[in-house]
A = this chain, B = another copy of it.
Amino acid sequence: MHLVGREIMSDLERMQELAQPAQTKILMLILDGLGGLPLTPQGPTELEAAHTPNLDKLAREGVCGLSAPVGAGITPGSGPGHLALFGYDPLKYLIGRGVLEALGIGFPLEKDDVAARGNFCTVDASGNITDRRAGRIPTEKCRELVELLRQIRLPGVEVLVEAVQDYRFVLVLRGPNLSAHLSETDPQRLGVPPLPVHPLAEDAKPTADLVNRWVAEARKLLADQRPANALTLRGFAKDPALPSMQQIYGLKCAAIATYPMYRGLAKLVGMDILKTSETVEDEVETLKANWGKYDFFYFHVKKTDSAGEDGDFDRKREIIEHVDELVPAMTALKPDVVIVSGDHSTPAVLKSHSWHPVPTLVWSRYCRPDDVDSFGERACARGALGVFPAKEIMPLAMANALRLAKYGA
């Protein structure tokens, strides 16, 4: 008796097996950190407080729910949040911190580069850490120190150092046979020295030796600097070599995003990155200009998240309202499927990403509308999609675009 059954193929393998060509177009509008919280228990969330007649219309004609990026209670970073939106299980696929930090500054990471996030810190005369962030030195100072570190040469590999912001920088090693299986040097507490890098895999020893040598030289160069006289390295990682969305879904995909990190994330899943400018209006113009050339558009709005991180409830509401005003210009392009969602929640009252599932709507001619008639957290909680994993958004989009063949006879 086969009470266990055969091994189940992965969701992505199944998508690849079922995906079929069509002429339909999918627009995925992502308001970063869209989900919110009320200021008072009975009050509205940012999205509920916003006047959004156009999103409400899509919600009324579409089907709604709350998408959970990773799982109950889990607050996602931007990496996992976006991987889920693109259909990749964020528990199976991970983008290392070093890679994400490099993407965030638009660093042109190559396939076998090893990237790490660096922090400038302060150590005392005995070499013990007294401030893990070196008093949050200004970015200008960070750039000066990075310039200093660029003197360091290592045998057989290219060493690239880039300032990020405040005390943060990126270190990238480029060369043959490098491994990212390395331990971190940040002890995550004060009163002890930074740790040496240890190889975490058999073949990682040469890379560990190189990094330790680089750190030793950096320590010499930084010794007389104040307050940042040392550094730590975290999150050694390579490009995770994700299967591309083109391979999985057979979709020609384009990304419209104003911030480097989101363009970088889209590039990791194989999207073409469209040139655009600062504002959401600019992004809409980019969408119009490229509408004929792609099957799938990832359209990213950053400032909802920034307002949430700043704790600015009203600004987040206003940005949502501003995006709503631009929705008719997008739907005028006649997408076959529209998805509106976020990569995670960023409630102003928390001033940070949060674990709350994200208001999500799926609109198409064939989406089976539910009773939801406005776009908001409470309304979506009553939607026919229920609370569902965000990684199911792409299969739903593909189905609504009539791009999935029947499973089984």
Contacts and interface: CB of A to CB of B under 8 A. Distances in A.
A274 to B, nearest CB: 25
A154 B290 CA distance: 60
Interface of A, secondary structure class, is loop
A77 B406 contact: yes
A3 B12 contact: yes
Interface string A88-127: 1111111111001100000000000000000000000000
Given A72-B395, A100-B409, A399-B73, A42 B369 contact: yes
A23 interface: no
Contacts of A187: none
Given A13-B3, A369-B41, A404 B73 contact: yes
A113 to B, nearest CB: 17
A89 B2 CA distance: 12
A396 interface: yes
Contact of A80 (B10, B387, B399, B407): B407
A153 interface: no
A312 to B, nearest CB: 18
A406 to B, nearest CB: 5
Interface in A115-151: none
A308 interface: no
Interface in A1-49: 1-6, 8-14, 16, 18, 37-38, 41-42, 45
Contacts of A354: 366, 399
Contacts of A60: 41
A384 B100 contact: no
A349 B354 CA distance: 40
Contacts of A61: 41
A95 B409 CA distance: 8
Contacts of A356: 368
Nearest to A407: B74
A66 interface: yes
A399 B8 contact: no
A71 B395 contact: yes
Interface stretch (A241-249, A299-307, A318-326): A241-249
A51 interface: no
Interface stretch (A159-167, A252-260, A280-288, A375-383): A375-383
A70 interface: yes
B387 A378 contact: no
21 contacts: A2-B93, A5-B10, A14-B74, A37-B366, A37-B368, A41-B60, A41-B61, A72-B388, A72-B389, A73-B395, A73-B399, A73-B400, A75-B399, A75-B404, A75-B406, A77-B408, A90-B408, A347-B368, A355-B396, A370-B378, A378-B384
Interface of A: 1-6, 8-14, 16, 18, 37-38, 41-42, 45, 60-61, 66, 70-80, 88-97, 100-101, 235, 240-243, 247-248, 347, 349-350, 352-357, 366, 368-371, 377-378, 381-389, 392, 394-400, 404-409
Given A3-B10, A74-B395, 9 more contacts: A2-B240, A4-B12, A72-B392, A75-B399, A77-B406, A80-B407, A97-B409, A347-B366, A353-B406
